[in-house]
Amino acid sequence: FVSAYTGVDFGSSAAESIKLGFVLLSTILPVTMPLILTTVLAVGAQELAKDNAVVQRFSAIPEMANMDILCSDKTGTLTLGKMSVIKEESLTFHDDVTVDEMM
């Protein structure tokens, strides 16, 4: 991380210098990509934990970035251990679109 050290000397912030160090390290030694990816995902999980989010798998972070629809259910899974549909409701931007067409 020579760039991180020299970046601080030239007035860059420490965070910017570390980012530059990761970029240079991954460019020079592509084998370091798993280390860099794990570090970045760990920092992301730490940031999510500040907002009371629990991350069980690091791969969930980029998966959620690509997510369009989130379906969740707490009722039933906590008490019975199985899911069941009580009421089906869908919100669309067009009144003439049915649930079947949307799915």
Catalytic residue, chosen from 68, 73, 96, 100, is 73
Distance CA 16, CA 29 (A): 20
Question: Other C-beta atoms within 10 Å of 11: how many?
Answer: 7
**Distance between CA 5 and CA 78 in Å, rounded?**
51
d(CA 40, CA 1): 16
Q: Does the active-site annotation cover 96?
A: no
| Tally of residues, the chain | 103
Could you give the residue numbers annotated as active site?
A: 73
